């Protein structure tokens, strides 16, 4: 257990030029959640004194996304050292541990961050290290900073950025993940001594290690798993982070008792909740805000967002649930059905080629193929209320606002513009006329017309 208090600074002011995007880099989503929010969610589990997010001067969207945590503005992007300096303005007088994380490293775990804080307080040769750096050995060290260790005692001597490194230093396999934990009493003076005399002309936070060593303080490395350390600087790295996040979410769903026939084709959001004995067929996409109870069967090729699916529901193939959809116990939603902001109550059936929007489908009601709730008149949305046990015939247009009473039957092909009472039968289609035997006479007439046309 850590004895000192710890505060965290999340660096998020960088523009992320390599992303080629108008969105700040750390706002790019991984599993439906901005990268910076992944980090903040993880930090929030550590019971920290305070979380400060360093943002750029023109990043209102980012400031809103990290609420209610404190933000500090870095007015000029002069490097990671300068960004931490900006963050420290929100931690004036704080003397505990300062944990720095980079907003573009979204996959780091709570366990790893905890081990960093613990290492910061662990005496090495009588002294706790002034700086602890989270290192890792990536397959391709590329542009990561290299950790230079003392050959004799393995202590951390310096971090050298790839652009400033000699060929020998570039050959070092151990790299800087960007996560560092500082002694908060020493950090301000170290930051004050940073210079930008380097290849990028930036104030590197990583230079603090060398400065601490110059002052006679020890610095330590905690080694972590490559999968957690991935820094996202480009769209290709964003895709790599997504793959790792998805694999974790698939594993979690299976561990909790769901069967995924082809896991690699099922995509979850960071917050998807999946119950036990859920069967998920291939090619299913979960957007944010979806919960699925036990014993649900999701057939292939479905897309869900903002929906709640109760126990025993069977849904798909090819079904779409949009925000505000709830399917109560035992409901059935079949192929090419779209549901938006609507409640399908227990045992309701919407099985084929249908749009249900801004509506209630009562308990046990049956909605025929091709039914459309006409919820929008070009200006306003209106509600359709379908009562318990009602039966809506195929190819019916329900022009909202409209109510269909409990137990009512609507004949196929109807366009319903007025309320239908309980247990009423209603049809709005034109009457049918049958001309007895007329088909034979019709064919004979047409045959003669065709012959005449050939002669002319
Ligand atoms: C940084 C490290 C490198 C490490 C790598 C891990 C430095 C000097 N280098 O390099 O050793 O291996 O991360 O992923 O620290 N930021 C600001 N203000 C700035 C500059 C950056 O807030 O002025 C933020 C960015 O939004 C980003 C983070 O700091 O979240 C890291 O910046 P980035 O430019 O990605 O640094 P790297 O080149 O990846
Ligand atoms: Mg980076």
d(CA 428, CA 421): 15
First and final CA of the chain: distance in angstroms?
Answer: 102
Say yes or no: CB of residue 198 within 6 Å of ligand 1.
Answer: no
| Ligand 2 centroid from CA 300, angstroms | 37
Point out the ligand nearest to the CA of residue 104.
Answer: 1
Residue nearest to ligand 1 atom 28, measured at CA: 102
Which residues lie across from 160 on neighbouring strands? 146
| Ligand 2 centroid from CA 188, angstroms | 23
* Atom number of ligand 1 nearest to Cα 76: 23
Residue nearest to ligand 1 atom 25, measured at CA: 14
Say yes or no: CB of residue 144 within 6 Å of ligand 1.
Answer: yes
Residue nearest to ligand 1 atom 16, measured at CA: 14
pLDDT at 154: 84
Q: Which residue is associated with the tokens 């919407």?
A: 350
Token pair listed for 150: 């003392």
d(CA 87, CA 104): 16
d(CA 428, CA 43): 61
Contact criterion met (CB below 8 Å) for 350 and 320: no
Q: In 3D, which of 290, 250, 295, 262 has the Cα closest to residue 276?
A: 295
| Cα–Cα separations (whole angstroms), residue 163 to 82, 198, 200 | 19, 9, 8
d(CA 425, CA 128): 82
CB neighbour class for 280 (10 Å; exposed up to 12, middle 13-18, buried from 19): buried
- Other C-beta atoms lying within 10 Å of the C-beta of residue 432: 5
pLDDT at 450: 97
Residue nearest to ligand 1 atom 11, measured at CA: 145
* Atom number of ligand 1 nearest to Cα 10: 30
Residue nearest to ligand 1 atom 36, measured at CA: 80
> Ligand 1 pocket check: which of 54, 72, 102 to mutate, most ligand atoms within 8 Å of Cβ?
102
| Ligand 1 centroid from CA 2, angstroms | 27
Q: Which domains does the chain have, with CATH numbers?
A: 6-229 (3.90.550.10), 257-426 (2.160.10.10)
β-pair type (284-286, 409-410): unpaired
Token pair listed for 20: 């080629």
Active site (annotated) includes residue 303: no
* Atom number of ligand 1 nearest to Cα 145: 11
Residues with CB under 5 A from ligand 2 (ion): 104, 231, 233
Q: Which letter, b or e, does each residue of 83-96 get, where b requires 16 or more Cβ atoms within 10 Å of its Cβ?
A: bbbbbbebbeebeb
The CA R_g of the chain, rounded to the nearest whole Å, is 31
Total residue count of the chain as it appears in this document: 456
Q: CA 413: distance to chain centroid?
A: 41
Token pair listed for 373: 């709730």
Contact criterion met (CB below 8 Å) for 259 and 280: yes
Which residues lie across from 147 on neighbouring strands? 159
pLDDT at 2: 58
Helices (H), 160-314: 167-170, 187-192, 208-214, 226-229, 235-255
| Ligand 1 centroid from CA 264, angstroms | 31
| Ligand 1 centroid from CA 80, angstroms | 6
Q: Which letter, b or e, does each residue of 183-218 get, where b requires 16 or more Cβ atoms within 10 Å of its Cβ?
A: bbebbbebbeebeeebeeebbbbbbbbbbbbeeebb
Say yes or no: CB of residue 78 within 6 Å of ligand 1.
Answer: yes
| Ligand 1 centroid from CA 204, angstroms | 9
Which one of 69, 295, 303, 352 is the catalytic residue? 352
* Atom number of ligand 1 nearest to Cα 205: 15
Point out the ligand nearest to the CA of residue 144.
Answer: 1
Point out the ligand nearest to the CA of residue 16.
Answer: 1
Q: CA 248: distance to chain centroid?
A: 13
Q: Which residues contact 221 (CB under 8 A, 6 or more apart)?
A: 132, 133, 134, 135, 147, 149, 156, 174
Each residue's pLDDT expressed in tens, for the chain with a length of 456 residues: 557 899 999 999 988 899 999 999 999 999 999 999 999 999 999 989 999 999 999 899 999 999 999 999 999 999 999 999 999 999 999 999 999 999 999 999 999 999 999 999 987 777 799 999 999 999 999 999 999 999 988 889 999 999 999 999 999 999 999 999 999 999 999 999 999 999 999 999 999 999 999 999 999 999 999 999 999 999 999 999 999 999 999 999 999 999 999 999 999 999 999 999 999 999 999 999 999 999 999 999 999 999 999 999 999 999 999 999 999 999 999 999 999 999 999 999 999 999 999 999 999 999 999 999 999 999 999 999 999 999 999 999 999 999 999 999 999 999 999 999 999 999 999 999 999 999 999 999 999 999 999 999
pLDDT at 186: 96
């Amino acid at each position: 257990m850590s004895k000192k208090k710890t505060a965290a600074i999340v660096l998020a002011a960088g523009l992320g030029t390599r992303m080629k995007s108008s969105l700040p880099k750390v706002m790019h989503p991984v599993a439906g959640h901005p990268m910076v929010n992944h980090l903040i969610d993880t930090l929030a589990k550590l019971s920290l004194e305070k979380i400060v997010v360093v943002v750029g001067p023109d990043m209102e969207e980012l400031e809103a996304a990290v609420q209610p945590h404190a933000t500090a503005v870095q007015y000029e992007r002069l490097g990671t050292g300068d960004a931490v300096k900006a963050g420290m303005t929100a931690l004036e007088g704080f003397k505990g541990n300062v944990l720095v994380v980079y907003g573009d490293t979204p996959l780091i775990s709570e366990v790893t961050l905890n081990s960093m804080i613990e290492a910061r307080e662990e005496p090495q040769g009588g002294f706790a290290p002034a700086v602890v750096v989270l290192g890792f050995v990536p397959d391709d060290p590329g542009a990561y900073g290299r950790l230079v260790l003392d050959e004799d005692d393995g202590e951390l001597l310096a971090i050298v950025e790839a652009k400033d490194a000699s060929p020998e230093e570039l050959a070092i396999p151990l790299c800087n993940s960007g996560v560092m934990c500082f002694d908060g009493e020493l950090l301000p003076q170290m930051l004050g001594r940073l210079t930008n005399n380097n290849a990028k002309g930036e104030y590197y936070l990583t230079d603090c290690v060398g400065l601490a060593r110059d002052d006679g303080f020890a610095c330590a490395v905690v080694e972590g798993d490559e999968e957690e350390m991935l820094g996202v600087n480009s769209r290709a790295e964003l895709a790599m982070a997504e793959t790792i996040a998805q694999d974790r979410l698939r594993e979690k769903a299976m561990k909790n008792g769901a069967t995924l026939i082809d896991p690699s084709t099922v995509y979850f959001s960071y917050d998807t909740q999946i119950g036990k004995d859920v069967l998920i067929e291939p090619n299913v996409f979960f957007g944010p805000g979806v919960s699925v109870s036990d014993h649900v069967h999701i057939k292939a090729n479905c897309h869900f967002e903002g929906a709640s699916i109760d126990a025993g529901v069977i849904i798909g193939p090819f079904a779409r649930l949009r925000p505000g959809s709830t399917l109560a116990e035992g409901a059935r939603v079949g192929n090419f059905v779209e549901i938006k902001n609507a409640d399908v109550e227990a045992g309701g059936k919407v099985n084929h080629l249908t749009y249900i929007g801004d509506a209630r489908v009562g308990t046990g009601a049956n909605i025929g193929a091709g039914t459309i709730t006409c919820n929008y008149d070009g200006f306003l949305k209106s509600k359709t209320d379908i009562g318990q046990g009602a039966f809506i015939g195929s190819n019916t247009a329900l022009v909202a606002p409209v109510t269909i009473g409990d137990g009512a039957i609507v004949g196929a092909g109807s366009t319903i513009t007025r309320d239908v009472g309980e247990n009423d039968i209603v049809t709005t289609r034109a009457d049918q006329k049958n001309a007895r035997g007329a088909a034979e006479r019709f064919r004979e007439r047409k045959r003669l017309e065709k012959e005449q046309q050939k002669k002319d």
